[in-house]
C-alpha cells in the first residue's frame, strides 16, 4: 500500500463535478475525452529567431520531452545563439531520461566534440561553473575514471540551488549510485512537497476540460410573407375602408341622430374587439406552442451513432440524469423534460454543427442547461410561460363587450343605410363583411408572426444573456484552475519519484544496489487525455511500471496512478532472474498502436500497451479551440509518435529489456548501462 498519498480533496461545486474513469456521455470503450488546448507554448517555425527556438526548447526539456528540446537547442546554436546557457541546456537534453547505454555512437561523438568547446564558455558568470561540471562529467563518463567522475559530481552538487536541482534531475541516469544515495533523501522530500502542491486535487481536472466554444443562441426568425401577400392585404384593406366609408356617407346623409351615433360606436367597438380578439387568440396559440415544445417526445433525437448530434443527445440525457431534482427518479425526470431537452438539443446541434466544433467544446453549455432547468423546477418557474402568456380577464371582457356592441350598432347602421339606398347599401354591406373577414385573417397572420418574432427575440436575448454569463464564469473557472505544463510535469515526476521510493523501501535496497532502472508511463484504457498543441499527451490515469536492475535480477513494480488525486492503487510486484527473460519485441499495429511484448521462460507472454492508435490520431488531427483562428501556416506540428514515445520512457525501457534478453547477466559485465 502507498503511504504517501494525500487524502482526496472535497468534491467540487456542482458545475465541475466529474466522474473518474467511468463512461460519460458519448464515450466508448477505451480512452475517453480528447482535448487539445490551443496555447502558444510549443508553437515554433523554421523562420523563428534562435532565441524563440531556445525558449521553446527549455519548455520542452522541463515538460518531459528532451529529444525535441535537443533538436531545438541544436537549431538555435546553428542559427548563431551559441552561449553557455544554451550549451548547458543542450547537454542536459542529451542526457535527460537516458543512461550512457542509451546514447548512440554518433551522439557520443557529438558530446565529446561539444565538451571540448565548452571551455570557451566557462567564464560565463551564471552558467560557466555548471557547464564546466557537465563537461567534466561528459569526459569521464565516456572515458570512465572513478576519481574524475567523483570530482565532476561534486562540482555539480556545489552548484547554486536552481542549477543544482535542474542538473540532478536531468543527469539522474548518468550519476553514480553513491551520489544518488547522497541526494536521495532530499529528492524524496522534495517530491513529497511538490506532489500535492498548488492545490493539485482541485485543479488537475481543468487540464482535461476542452476550451468552451463561445456562447451562441438560435436567432429569432422574421415571419415569412409570401410574394404578393402585401398587395392582397392592401387591396382588401382598401376595399373594406371604401365600403365602410360608403355606409358612413349614407348614414350621415340620412341625418338620423341614432344611426350616426350607432355608426361612431360601431367603429370604436370594431377597434376594441379586433385588438383584444387578436391578443386573446395569439396568447392561446402561443401558450399551446410553448406547451407542445415542452411536452414533445425526445424520440426523434436519436442517440445511436458517433456523430456530433448523437453525442449531444447522449450528453443531454447524461447531464439531465445527473442534475435531476432530489428525491426524483431518473426515468421520471427524463420523461418530464423530454420536450425541453429535444428543443435545446436541436438548437445546439443547429448552431454548433461545424467541422471545427467538437462535442467537448459544447459540454459546458449542455451542463449549464441541465442545471438551469433543475433550478427553474425547484423555484417553480419552469412553467413561467403560463403566467407570461396568461389571458387577462380585462382582455376577455373588452373583447366580448366590444363584439356585443359591434353587432348591435352594425345592425342599426345597415338598417338605416338600406332605407336610404337599398341596392348600394346591400352591395356595400356584402363587400364590407366579406372584405373585412378576408383582410382580418390576413392581418392576423402577419401581426401574429410579427408578435411571435418579438417574443422570440426576447427569449433569444434571455438565453444569450444566461449563456454569456455562464461562459464568462466557466472560462474564468478554467483559467484559474487549469495547471501549467510545468506543474503537470512536476506532479508526474514527483509521483514517479514516490513510486521508486516505495519500491526501494519494499525490496530493501538502495541506489548502490541498483545497476540501472527504467520507468514506463502509459495511460490506462479508460484515461482521459489532453495536451497543449504540439506538446506531450497527458492523461488523468496512468499505469506506471518500474524496472529495477540489480545483481540478483530484475525487480518490477506496477501501479495505477489516479493523476487527479495522486493516489496509487492496483499494485503488482514481480521479480525474475536475468535468464528468465526469453525475448522482448515491439508489436506495431496498423493504427499506430504499439505493444511491448515481454516473454519469460517460466511464465506467459505479457503485452504492455505503450501507445494507442487513437493517441496518435488525436495528436495528428490537432483539434483547436473553435473560437480562435488557425495558427500560422508555417508552424509545423510535431511527429506525434516521437513526442508520445519520448514521454512514456519507452526507449530506455526497451533497450534495457532487449539487452537482458540477449545477454542475460552478461549484460551487466558489458558495462555502459
Q: Give the 3-state DSSP-derived string for 218-250, with helices as H, strands as E and coil as C.
A: CCCCCCCCCCCHHHHHHHHHHHHHHHHHHHHHH
CA angle 481, 484, 486 (to 5 degrees): 145
What is the spatial distance between Cα 598 and Cα 584, in angstroms, rounded to a whole number?
Answer: 5
Q: Which phi and psi angles does 159 have, rounded to 5°?
A: -70, 160
Residue with cell 473557472: 477
State the cell numbers at 62.
Answer: 522541463
What pLDDT does 3 receive? 44
Q: What number of other Cβ atoms are within 10 A of residue 590's Cβ?
A: 6
Strand order in the sheet with 529-532: 34-37, 529-532, 538-539
Which residue, 67, 70, 72, is CA-closest to 44? 72
**pLDDT for the residue numbered 405:** 93
Q: CA-CA distance, 404 to 382, in Å (whole number)? A: 38
Q: What pLDDT is stored for residue 502 in this prediction?
A: 95
The length of the chain, given as a count of residues: 673
CA distance 638 to 640: 6
Rounded to a whole number of angstroms, the CA Rg of the chain reads 38
As a whole number of angstroms, the distance between CA 554 and CA 491 comes to 27
Characterize the bridge pairing of strands 34-37 and 529-532. parallel
**Could you tell me where the DSSP H helices lie in 567-649?**
613-621, 640-648
| 282, 272 Cβ separation under 8 angstroms | no
* Cell 541544436 -> residue: 74
Q: What is the DSSP letter of 630?
A: P
pLDDT at 40: 60
pLDDT along the chain (673 residues), means of 10: 43 39 38 60 85 94 91 94 95 90 87 91 92 90 69 91 92 89 92 94 94 92 85 88 89 87 92 93 92 67 72 94 91 90 92 84 95 92 89 94 92 87 88 88 90 93 95 95 94 95 94 89 88 88 92 91 94 85 69 69 70 49 44 44 62 77 72 50
Beta strand 581-588 with 567-576 is unpaired
Closest to 25 in 3D by CA, of 358, 458, 450, 375: 358
Cα end-to-end span (Å), the chain: 31
Domain boundaries, given as residue ranges, for the chain: 44-198+483-669, 229-480
* CA pair distance 48, 517, nearest whole angstrom: 38
CB 430 within 8 A of CB 246: no
Amino acid at each position: 500500500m502507498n503511504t504517501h498519498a494525500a487524502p482526496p480533496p472535497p468534491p467540487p461545486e456542482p458545475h465541475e463535478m466529474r466522474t473518474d474513469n467511468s463512461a460519460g456521455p458519448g464515450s466508448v470503450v477505451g480512452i475517453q475525452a480528447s482535448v487539445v488546448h490551443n496555447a502558444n507554448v510549443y508553437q515554433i517555425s523554421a523562420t523563428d529567431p534562435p532565441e524563440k527556438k531556445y525558449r521553446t526548447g527549455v519548455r520542452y526539456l522541463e515538460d518531459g520531452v528532451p529529444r525535441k528540446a535537443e533538436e531545438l537547442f541544436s537549431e538555435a546554436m546553428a542559427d548563431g545563439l551559441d552561449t553557455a546557457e544554451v550549451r548547458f541546456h543542450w547537454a542536459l537534453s542529451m542526457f535527460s531520461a537516458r543512461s550512457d547505454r542509451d546514447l548512440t555512437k554518433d551522439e557520443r561523438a557529438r558530446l565529446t566534440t561539444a565538451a571540448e568547446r565548452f571551455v570557451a564558455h566557462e567564464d560565463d558568470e551564471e552558467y560557466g561553473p555548471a557547464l564546466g561540471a557537465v563537461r567534466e562529467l561528459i569526459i569521464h563518463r565516456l572515458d570512465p575514471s572513478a576519481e574524475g567522475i567523483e570530482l565532476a559530481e561534486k562540482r555539480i552538487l556545489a552548484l547554486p540551488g536552481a542549477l543544482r536541482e535542474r542538473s540532478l534531475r536531468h543527469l539522474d541516469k548518468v550519476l553514480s549510485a553513491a551520489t544518488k544515495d547522497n541526494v536521495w533523501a532530499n529528492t524524496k522530500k522534495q517530491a513529497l512537497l511538490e506532489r500535492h502542491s498548488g492545490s493539485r486535487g482541485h485543479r488537475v481536472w481543468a487540464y482535461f476540460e476542452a476550451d468552451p466554444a463561445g456562447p451562441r443562441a438560435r436567432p429569432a426568425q422574421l415571419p415569412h410573407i409570401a410574394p404578393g401577400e402585401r398587395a392582397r392585404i392592401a387591396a382588401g384593406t382598401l376595399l373594406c375602408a371604401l365600403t365602410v366609408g360608403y355606409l358612413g356617407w349614407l348614414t350621415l346623409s340620412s341625418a338620423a341622430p341614432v344611426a350616426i351615433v350607432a355608426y361612431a360606436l360601431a367603429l370604436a367597438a370594431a377597434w376594441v374587439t379586433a385588438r383584444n380578439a387578436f391578443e386573446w387568440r395569439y396568447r392561446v396559440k402561443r401558450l399551446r406552442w410553448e406547451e407542445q415544445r415542452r411536452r414533445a417526445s425526445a424520440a426523434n433525437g436519436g442517440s445511436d451513432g458517433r456523430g456530433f448530434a448523437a453525442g449531444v443527445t447522449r450528453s443531454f440525457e447524461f447531464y439531465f440524469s445527473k442534475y435531476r431534482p432530489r428525491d426524483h427518479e431518473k426515468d421520471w425526470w427524463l420523461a418530464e423534460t423530454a420536450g425541453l431537452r429535444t428543443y435545446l438539443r436541436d438548437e445546439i446541434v443547429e448552431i454548433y454543427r461545424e467541422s471545427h466544433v467538437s462535442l467537448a467544446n459544447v459540454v459546458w453549455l449542455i451542463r449549464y442547461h441541465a442545471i438551469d432547468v433543475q433550478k427553474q423546477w425547484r423555484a417553480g418557474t419552469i412553467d413561467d410561460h403560463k403566467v407570461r402568456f396568461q389571458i387577462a380577464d380585462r382582455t376577455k371582457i373588452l373583447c366580448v363587450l366590444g363584439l356585443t356592441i359591434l353587432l348591435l350598432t352594425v345592425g342599426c347602421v345597415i338598417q338605416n343605410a338600406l332605407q336610404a339606398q337599398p341596392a348600394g347599401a346591400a352591395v356595400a354591406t356584402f363587400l364590407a363583411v366579406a372584405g373585412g373577414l378576408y383582410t382580418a385573417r390576413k392581418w392576423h397572420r402577419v401581426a401574429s408572426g410579427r408578435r411571435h418574432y418579438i417574443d422570440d427575440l426576447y427569449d433569444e436575448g434571455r438565453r444569450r444573456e444566461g449563456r454569456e454569463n455562464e461562459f464568462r464564469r466557466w472560462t474564468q473557472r478554467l483559467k484559474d484552475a487549469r495547471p501549467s505544463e510545468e506543474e503537470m510535469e512536476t506532479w508526474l515526476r514527483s509521483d514517479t519519484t514516490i513510486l521508486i521510493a516505495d519500491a526501494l523501501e519494499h525490496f530493501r535496497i538502495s541506489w548502490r544496489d541498483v545497476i540501472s532502472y527504467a520507468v514506463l508511463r502509459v495511460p490506462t484504457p479508460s484515461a482521459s487525455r489532453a495536451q497543449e498543441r504540439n506538446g506531450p499527451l497527458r492523461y488523468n490515469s496512468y499505469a506506471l511500471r518500474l524496472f529495477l536492475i540489480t545483481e540478483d535480477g530484475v525487480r518490477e513494480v506496477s501501479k495505477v496512478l489516479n493523476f487527479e488525486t495522486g493516489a496509487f492503487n492496483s499494485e503488482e510486484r514481480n521479480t525474475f532472474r536475468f535468464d528468465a527473460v526469453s525475448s522482448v519485441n515491439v508489436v506495431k499495429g496498423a493504427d499506430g498502436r504499439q505493444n511491448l511484448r515481454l516473454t519469460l521462460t517460466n511464465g506467459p507472454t505479457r503485452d504492455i500497451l505503450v501507445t494507442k492508435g487513437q493517441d496518435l490520431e488525436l495528436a495528428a488531427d490537432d483539434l483547436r479551440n473553435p473560437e480562435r483562428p488557425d495558427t500560422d501556416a508555417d508552424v509545423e506540428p510535431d511527429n506525434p509518435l516521437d513526442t508520445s514515445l519520448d514521454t512514456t520512457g519507452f526507449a530506455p525501457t526497451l533497450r534495457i529489456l532487449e539487452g537482458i534478453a540477449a545477454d542475460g547477466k552478461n549484460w551487466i559485465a558489458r558495462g555502459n548501462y
